[in-house]
Structure 1
Amino acid sequence: MPLYLTTPAGTALSRPAFNAGIWKRAIRATGIPDNRHNGMHVLRHAYASVLSDAGESIKALSAYLGHADPGFTLRTYTHLLPTSEDRTRRAIDKAFGAAPTTADDP
């Protein structure tokens, strides 16, 4: 598997090195406040949000995030699951051959 973030020597870039050497410098350069709300951990939540919204299972998401317990992942990211009602509706519509609906449809 190719590495996308590497050190000058071509080895894997560690999280602390990326955070201090790249992320925080980029945040500061833009004038965005360098705080917890704009920290590198936000990338992790964005990743989890995208996968959750796409319908990825909690078990798989837990493995991708390195959590030992899928229950922890579920408790942490429960707030990302509201769109599951739309996914459920679309899945049932598809199973019965109905035209796709959107959240705006009655």
Structure 2
Amino acid sequence: MSPNFEKRMLSHIAEFPPVECTLPWRNPEPPTTALESKQRKPITVRLLVSTARGNRVQYQTFNKAAWKPALAAAGVIEVVGRRQVKEGTRITSRRVFEDARGEMYHVLRRTFASVQSEAGESIVSVSKWLGPANPNVTLTYYAHFMPDAGRRGMGAMDAWLDDGPEQIVPD
């Protein structure tokens, strides 16, 4: 683990201790066999990021309440209107953001994969950290997010050609 990452994680954990949370990751439908029962069993994990009530953060809620407002404040996406929402007996007005699929929360995974790959980290390590089944999945999903891909190779060829090939002088 990088020393700076470890320092930041320990600081976060000191301020926000991990919360145990049971997650229905497998499949919420009732199992029909013993194997399904084992595979669909909820798991309890310690979350480093959770809601104020100690639950997992749902990505849709995070997108609406935090991510999109932050992107709009940074000028990445636009607020395209407002809509009325009934909350109990109150009616409130909420911002509506432009549909910017490429700027959704998942962009953080793509950024991580791209930065690590461009830094020369092995695709096997990046795949392990991200969690896909194998490095081929990681390459399939994230290779096209590496804007500088190929520059090292082109730089090496350019340096090699810079001296120029030896001139062949006819006899």
TM-score (norm 2): 0.42
Q: Displacement, 1:73?
A: 0.9
Deviations 1:35-85 (A, max 9, x none): 112222222211111111111111111122121121111122333242453
Q: Which runs of 4+ in 1 moved over 4 A?
A: none
Partner of 1:27: 71
> Identity over the aligned pairs, expressed in percent?
39
Residue 20 of structure 1 aligns to a residue whose secondary structure is helix
By relative contact order (CA 8 Å, sep 6+), the higher-ranking structure is 1
Q: In 2, distance between residues paired with 1:84 and 1:74?
A: 18
Q: Which runs of 5+ in 1 are unaligned?
A: 90-102
- 1:37 maps onto 2:105 in alignment: no
Q: Which has the larger share of helix? A: 1
1:85 to 143, 153, 156: 153
Q: In 1, distance between residues paired with 2:125 and 2:111?
A: 16
Spell out the pairing of 1:1-106 with structure 2 (5 A cutoff).
Answer: 2=13, 3=48, 5-9=49-53, 13-33=57-77, 34=98, 35-79=100-144, 80=146, 81-83=149-151, 85=153, 105=159, 106=162
Q: In 1, distance between residues paired with 2:140 and 2:62?
A: 28
Q: Displacement, 1:12?
A: 5.0
Asked whether the 8 Å contact 1:53–1:83 carries over to 2, the reply is: no
Q: Displacement, 1:21?
A: 1.9
Q: Displacement, 1:29?
A: 3.3
RMSD of equivalent CA atoms? 3.1
- Aligned residues between the structures: 91
Whose radius of gyration is greater, 1 or 2? Answer: 2
Q: Which has the larger share of strand? A: 2
Q: Displacement, 1:9?
A: 3.6
Amino acid at match of 1:7: T
Which region of structure 1 is more displaced relative to structure 2, 55-64 or 32-41? 32-41
Residue 67 of structure 1 aligns to a residue whose secondary structure is coil
Q: Which runs of 5+ in 2 are unaligned?
A: 1-8, 14-47, 78-97, 163-171
